[in-house]
Amino acid sequence: MAEDLGCQGKVEEAQGVMKLVDQLKEERQDLEKQPGQEESPMIKQMEVCDVCGAFLIVGDAPQRQDEHLMGKQHAGYAQVRVEIERRKVRTIAILLLKLLKYVFECKKVRDEIEAREATETKLKLEREEREKERQLEREERRKKEQAGDEVEKEEKTRESSPMQIDETGDSVNTNGKDVNEESSCHHGPPLSEGDTKIDE
């Protein structure tokens, strides 16, 4: 439009129209910026309650703050949080007691195992000692038996010998006859080494 007026030679009117257009553009920009400037302070003034999570206005009237604190939502959430904390503490205490009981039982079982192992080791050593003693006794008994067998063998050897000495000191043959008697039964002169002995 300003260009049309300029082509027609109406320079002043064209300049006025252009100024009006620039003014309208500035007002439009101001109007577009104004709502954003009004909303940003409102967002910054809001806060969230730590207990119930409700949105509160920063610097609101004390009466409204008291109403919120005495309200069902805030009071209910406060009770719930207290109950949750109580149960947490109770659960932690129960877990600690169970843990202590488990540790005590583990220690008790470990002590029993160690005591059992010590007893078994002691019994094993005692069995080994008894076995060694029995082994020594068996060896001593075997030695005694061997010594007795040797004595019996010697006695049997003496008994089986052809010549024995009786109580009177005379030599006796195995058939019980006195050797002296046999020699006395021989009549005649003594035999020479070359002669043959003839029995009666």
Look at 169 and 15; give whichever has higher pLDDT.
Answer: 15
Residues 140 and 97 in one domain: yes
Residues 17 and 55 in one domain: no
Look at 90 and 163; give whichever has higher pLDDT.
Answer: 90
Residues 24 and 74 in one domain: no
Tell whether 112 is covered by a domain: yes
197 pLDDT band, cuts 50/70/90, is very low
104 pLDDT band, cuts 50/70/90, is very high
Residues 59 and 14 in one domain: no
Structural domain boundaries enclosing 8: 1-32
- Structure tokens, 74: 């805030």
CA distance 141 to 114: 40
Taking alpha carbons only, the member of 106, 87, 88, 110 closest to residue 98 is 106
Residues 145 and 66 in one domain: yes
pTM, two decimals, is: 0.36
Q: List the alpha helices (DSSP H) in the chain.
A: 2-7, 11-44, 62-70, 72-159, 179-184
Tell whether 188 is covered by a domain: no
- Number of domains into which the chain is organized: 2
Residue 17 makes CB contacts below 8 A (sequence gap 6+) with 1, 2, 5
